[in-house]
């Protein structure tokens, strides 16, 4: 089999992004339908997914695929694909392609579609680059590409709501990335290299923590916490994600926040392996778990409710990777994968309702279950999976998280109690949302609501099927999460493969 280099997974969406306006222009000249640039974007993202998928067998064998740009590391920049990068790349391309398919119908009445798809492709380029690169400054550059496209997509509709959300997001987000840049500058000052593996190699040899290292560590943690929307840096998420067009909400809430967790594992755990910040991460996770669920309970806006639920689920992930044991990180990564599926599903169902009735307030809905049975069923699956009801995927990963904590014993048992309680609360607010949308009396103005169009139902059904599949056969998800966890924890292996025994 021919091995396609990992760089193609970055180049393809990048070129696709800049070709989209050209495709739109040409199709306009020749009188082809406007949807053509949507299909073009879908083709590009599916091709990216195929490239990423072609790397699965090699990585599952335990190999680390390295692609060198220019000189060998630590001089040149290199792309490193191990289990952790692969899991992230699969999530990005997978959810990305479903989101693109969904957008074709959802966005059809909007203008400037070429810009929309160009930005969607750019956000995928940025995230792909950020998870595949082995160079920390490269990671920062790709992260900025992702963030700038995310700010632009949040503001895409240019209503007061999206503008306000976007400017808030921009201020907080750029503060976060500035922290990362300062942290990278400090690391370069301290170690004279930007390669993650090389820095990890050098920090391992230090006898104790130095002040520079401590400062850089706190800057990195703060920067990635902003990206992951963990308390106390969560305030932007609840504004930004609902304000974006719904397919983008699905992408941001499902995959984009995961980059924060990836940064924690790759940069913080690999580079600062010797320093213990696990308890801090777990405490922040616990706080966002509780706060997200409490805020979600009082929301009346369907998208804001799901956005707060994202904060709560990110809390679970940080709570789990903060433990730092094999089981904990595995559970956290599995939950990361499940969160991407569940959040994309929930937002897409909400998008169908918004598309059909043009309302977001839960009080103005009701009785829609009879007119859109498939959407109702999919929303129910997503809600139950998020709450962790067996036999759905959310249960499998939450069970792993609880078991990992129980194994650790002591105070952890109290924390597990809190986490179980929050799961019950998750069930409460999602079922409340389900009841007020799909059950009860149907208001007068919702007489003629139809089921979602087929192109929107397709990704929804696929995601719902994945929820059930990963719940019934959790070993499929664990099969991806275990290599990712091993990649995150076996630092010697990572350093050795990248530096090649230098």
Partner 1 sequence: MSLNYVVAMLLIALGLYCLLLKRNLIKMIIGLGVMTDGIHLFLTSLGYREGGIAAIVTGEMLENTAGFATQAVDPIPQALVLTSIVINICIIAFALSLAVWVYRHYGTLDPSEIRRLRE
Q: Which of 26, 43, 72, 171 binds partner 1 (CB under 8 A)?
A: 171
C-alpha 381: how far from chain center: 20
Q: Cβ of residue 225: shortest distance to partner 1, in angstroms?
A: 17
Cis peptide before 402 (omega within 30 of 0): no
Nearest alpha-carbon partner for 337 in 320, 323, 319, 317:
317
Based on the shown chain and the rule CB under 8 A, indicate whether residue 158 belongs to the binding site for partner 1.
Answer: yes
Based on the shown chain and the rule CB under 8 A, indicate whether residue 389 belongs to the binding site for partner 1.
Answer: no
For residues 441 and 372, give the distance between their C-alpha atoms in angstroms, rounded to a whole number: 15
The stretch near partner 1 (CB under 8 A) out of 180-188, 248-256, 333-341, 342-350 is 180-188
For residues 447 and 405, give the distance between their C-alpha atoms in angstroms, rounded to a whole number: 49
Q: Cβ of residue 240: shortest distance to partner 1, in angstroms?
A: 10
Q: Cβ of residue 177: shortest distance to partner 1, in angstroms?
A: 8
Based on the shown chain and the rule CB under 8 A, indicate whether residue 189 belongs to the binding site for partner 1.
Answer: yes
The stretch near partner 1 (CB under 8 A) out of 99-107, 186-194, 400-408, 481-489 is 186-194
Based on the shown chain and the rule CB under 8 A, indicate whether residue 160 belongs to the binding site for partner 1.
Answer: yes
For residues 366 and 439, give the distance between their C-alpha atoms in angstroms, rounded to a whole number: 6
- Of residues 226 through 285, those in contact with partner 1 by CB under 8 A are 239, 243
Q: Which of 43, 175, 435, 465 binds partner 1 (CB under 8 A)?
A: 175
The stretch near partner 1 (CB under 8 A) out of 27-35, 105-113, 164-172, 272-280 is 164-172
For residues 207 and 209, give the distance between their C-alpha atoms in angstroms, rounded to a whole number: 7
Q: Please report, to the nearest 10 degrees, the dihedral formed by the alpha carbons of residues 98, 22, 9, 469 taken in order.
A: 10
Largest CA distance in the chain: 73
Say if residues 460 and 349 touch (Cβ distance below 8 Å). yes
The stretch near partner 1 (CB under 8 A) out of 13-21, 143-151, 376-384, 469-477 is 143-151
For residues 103 and 38, give the distance between their C-alpha atoms in angstroms, rounded to a whole number: 8
Based on the shown chain and the rule CB under 8 A, indicate whether residue 76 belongs to the binding site for partner 1.
Answer: no
Nearer to partner 1, 107 or 148 (CB): 148
For residues 382 and 393, give the distance between their C-alpha atoms in angstroms, rounded to a whole number: 10
Paired tokens of 100 = 């693109």
Site size toward partner 1, by CB under 8 A: 30
Based on the shown chain and the rule CB under 8 A, indicate whether residue 151 belongs to the binding site for partner 1.
Answer: yes
Q: Cβ of residue 185: shortest distance to partner 1, in angstroms?
A: 5
Paired tokens of 416 = 């597990």
Q: Cβ of residue 267: shortest distance to partner 1, in angstroms?
A: 17
Nearer to partner 1, 161 or 451 (CB): 161
The stretch near partner 1 (CB under 8 A) out of 44-52, 174-182, 196-204, 226-234 is 174-182
For residues 394 and 338, give the distance between their C-alpha atoms in angstroms, rounded to a whole number: 6
Q: What is the DSSP string of 45-82?
A: HHHHHHHHHHTHHHHHTT--EEEEESSPTTTSEEEEE-
Q: Which residues bind partner 1 (CB under 8 A)?
A: 137, 141, 144, 148, 151-152, 155, 158-161, 163-167, 170-171, 174-175, 178, 181-182, 184-185, 188-189, 194, 239, 243
């Amino acid at each position: 089999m021919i091995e396609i280099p990992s760089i193609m997974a970055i180049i393809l969406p990048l070129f696709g992004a800049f070709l989209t306006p050209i495709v739109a222009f040409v199709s306009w000249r020749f009188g082809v339908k406007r949807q053509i640039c949507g299909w073009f974007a879908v083709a590009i993202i599916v091709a990216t997914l195929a490239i990423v998928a072609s790397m699965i067998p090699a990585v599952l064998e335990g190999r680390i695929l390295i692609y060198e740009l220019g000189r060998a590391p630590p001089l040149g920049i290199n792309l490193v694909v191990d289990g952790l990068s692969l899991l992230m790349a699969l999530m990005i391309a997978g959810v990305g392609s479903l989101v693109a398919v969904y957008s074709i119908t959802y966005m059809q009445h909007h203008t400037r579609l070429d810009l929309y798809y160009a930005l969607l492709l750019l956000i995928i380029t940025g995230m792909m680059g950020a998870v595949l690169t082995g160079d920390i400054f490269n990671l920062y550059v790709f992260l900025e590409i992702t963030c700038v496209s995310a700010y632009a997509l949040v503001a895409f509709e240019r209503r007061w709501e999206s503008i306000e959300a976007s400017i808030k997001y921009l201020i907080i987000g750029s503060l976060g990335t500035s922290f990362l840049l300062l942290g990278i500058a400090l690391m370069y000052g301290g170690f004279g290299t930007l390669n993650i593996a090389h820095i990890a190699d050098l920090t391992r040899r230090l006898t104790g923590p130095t002040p520079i290292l401590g400062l850089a560590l706190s800057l990195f943690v703060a920067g990635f916490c902003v990206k992951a929307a963990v308390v106390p840096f969560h305030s932007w998420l609840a504004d930004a994600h609902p304000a974006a067009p719904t397919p983008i909400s699905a992408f941001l809430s499902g995959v984009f926040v995961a980059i924060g967790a990836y940064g924690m594992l790759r940069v913080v755990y690999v580079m600062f392996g010797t320093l213990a910040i696990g308890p801090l991460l777990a405490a922040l996770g616990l706080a966002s778990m509780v706060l997200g669920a409490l805020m979600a309970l009082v929301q009346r806006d369907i998208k804001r409710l799901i956005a707060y639920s994202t904060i709560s689920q990110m809390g679970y992930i940080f709570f789990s990777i903060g433990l730092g044991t094999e089981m904990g990180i595995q559970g956290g990564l599995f939950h990361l994968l499940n969160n991407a599926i569940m959040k994309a599903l929930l937002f897409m169902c909400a998008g169908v309702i918004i598309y059909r009735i043009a309302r977001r307030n839960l009080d103005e809905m009701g009785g829609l279950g009879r007119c859109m049975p498939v959407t109702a069923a999919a929303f129910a699956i997503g809600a139950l999976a998020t709450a962790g009801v067996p036999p759905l995927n959310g249960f499998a990963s939450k069970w792993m998280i609880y078991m990992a904590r129980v194994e650790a014993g002591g105070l952890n048992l109290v924390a597990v109690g809190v986490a179980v309680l929050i799961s019950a609360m998750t069930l409460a607010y999602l079922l409340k949302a389900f009841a007020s949308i799909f059950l009860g009396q149907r208001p007068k103005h919702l007489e003629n609501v139809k089921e979602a169009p087929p192109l929107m139902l397709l990704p929804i059904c696929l995601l719902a099927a994945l929820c059930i599949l990963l719940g019934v056969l959790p070993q499929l998800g664990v099969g991806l999460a275990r290599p990712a966890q091993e990649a995150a924890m076996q630092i010697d292996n990572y350093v050795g493969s990248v530096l090649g025994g230098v």
